[in-house]
Amino acid sequence: MYQVRTDLALEAREKFESDNVEIKGVEVKNEEVDGNMKITKVIIRTENGAKAMGKPRGNYITLEAPDMADSDEDYHREISRQLARILKELLPIEDKELSVLIVGLGNREVTPDALGPRVADNMMITRHIIRKFGKYAFGLTSNHQISSIVPGVMAQTGMETLEIIKGVLKETKPDYIIAVDALAARSTKRLNRTIQITDTGISPGSGVGNHRHALNSESMGIPVIAIGIPTVVDAVTIVSDTMSNLVTAMEETRRLEDLGHSISQLEEAEKHELIRELLSPNLNAMFVTPKDIDESIKRLSFTISEGINMAFFPA
């Protein structure tokens, strides 16, 4: 059976809601935020819930900002503030001075996958200065030691991302890792408009079927916070969304009502399987990204980095 690829726990939960299935051990909390934003927390509390969702136990916080694709600076600043607030909920930032390693996952040479490296480029890096000149070098009330690394991808380095990061951990011994990566979504409406923050870590490349070793607390030995934005969607999902719109149009047209009704009776998995079989082999393995992805990655990477900087170094 074809499985729609998505890295978003919110979308995995929505699939069960559409089938009117309640999952034991999974809790959902919704929060409306001023400024046309919505925050949804999916908390997987049990192993049974984790198995049903296909994701590890932990907290998955999704910030949905429908206008995030726009270039409104005030709107993006508010997104950064909300991201900073969420990070403070997951990390003891205000309780003690931390040493944090920012890991920019992805391939800098492939624009939809360049989010992580671009975020690392924009980070306020302090570890080397504090180690040389002391904790009062910046004159700040918070003196967190922030360092970063962009490990690249295996095709560039010949090494697993996990191997590179473990080598860095051995030398620098941070308290936490914050990993930033581009994700895959199952809905086109969430491309470049959604941020997921989770304390369960991440499996680089899993959204597009390139499974690498998971980057999490078990493999790293320290807590891993993962931040991601969906930048790609597979071709099957695009056709599925189009089919849903077509069904709606058909049901409004009398002559085609019976055909539209027949298609609408298909379950989501059946519909995706049908589309996968109809698409040519060259298309059903294709992932698609918006045409303005260059500008979007530049803007979104700054929004994410500004949120992380705000969390550790409030103005």
Per-residue pLDDT at 2? 42
Residues 6+ apart with CB under 8 A from 154: 160, 161, 212
Per-residue pLDDT at 173? 97
Per-residue pLDDT at 47? 93
Per-residue pLDDT at 24? 86
The values of phi and psi at residue 43, to 5°, are: -110, 115
Which domains are delineated in the chain? 9-236+286-312 (3.40.50.1450)
The values of phi and psi at residue 196, to 5°, are: -110, 130
Residue numbers of the chain with a pLDDT score lower than 50: 1-2, 207
